[in-house]
Amino acid sequence: MGMFPPTIGKELKKVYEAVRKETGEAICLHMTPNSTDCPNCHSNPDGESTNIYDESFVTPVEIYDNTITPTSFNRGRCPVCKGKGVLEQDVEKRITAIVRWNPSGAGDSKGDMDITAAGIEGFNNVLIKIPKCYYNDVRDCVKAVISNIDCKLLVPPVLRHVGKVDVVAVAFFTSIDPGHSSNG
Ligand SMILES: [Zn+2]
């Protein structure tokens, strides 16, 4: 890579930014949700609900923009946390990415295709390209919604650099099999 004049990387980076702004797609990254202990029930040492009402909870509290009111119960799951022991708040980040579904190789660099080979056969793979500043968000997301399809990261994103310039980050996702959804 040392053969490139230092300006090449900068120029390429500008091209990627222009393409992203012109043709990019808004995608939604779902990060690890915020989580706090349920005030309405006692939890066991693992943080799970014992489904026993916490008699000490008498004053409504504000948690994640919701007012949680003490709700006594004698049987079944805690009605506030549904037996989870915690209350959660979704954390979403919306970013604009260059998105390509099921990349065939035409127009892709060889390095991109190496990652494609790790894809899962029979699933829809999607390649995204984003600026380096989103690298950690993409690496740490629990799932991404791309073109309205739930996707999971296949392998950690890769930074492509030319010389000392980080030109773009490339990540591969695969659609989550709807047959594995948790209904039932
Ligand atoms: Zn609870």
pLDDT tens for each residue of 128-161: 999 999 999 999 999 999 999 999 999 899 999 9
SS3 assignment for the chain: CCCCCHHHHHHHHHHHHHHHHHHCEEEEEEEEEEEEECCCEEECCCCCEEEEECCCCCCCEEECCEEECCCCCCCCCCCCCCCCCEEEEEEEEEEEEEEEECCCCCCCCHHHHHHHCCCCCCCCEEEEEECHHHHHHHHHCCEEEECCEEEEEEEEEEEEEECCEEEEEEEEEEECCHHHCCCC
pLDDT tens for each residue of 97-130: 999 998 875 444 444 544 444 454 556 899 999 9
Q: How far is the centre of ligand 1, averaged over its atoms, from the C-alpha of 36 (Å)?
A: 11
What's the confidence (pLDDT) of residue 47?
87
pTM over 0.95: no
Across the range 33-51, mean pLDDT stands at 94
Residue 180 has pLDDT above 60, yes or no: no
Q: How far is the centre of ligand 1, averaged over its atoms, from the C-alpha of 41 (Å)?
A: 4
Q: How far is the centre of ligand 1, averaged over its atoms, from the C-alpha of 142 (Å)?
A: 24
What phi, psi does 166 have (nearest 5°)? -80, 105
Residue 14 has pLDDT above 70, yes or no: yes
What's the confidence (pLDDT) of residue 3?
67
Contacts of 60 (CB under 8 A, 6+ apart): 67, 68, 69, 70
Query: Which tokens belong to 26?
Result: 């808004």
Across the range 11-15, mean pLDDT stands at 95
Q: How far is the centre of ligand 1, averaged over its atoms, from the C-alpha of 61 (Å)?
A: 13
Residues in the chain: 184
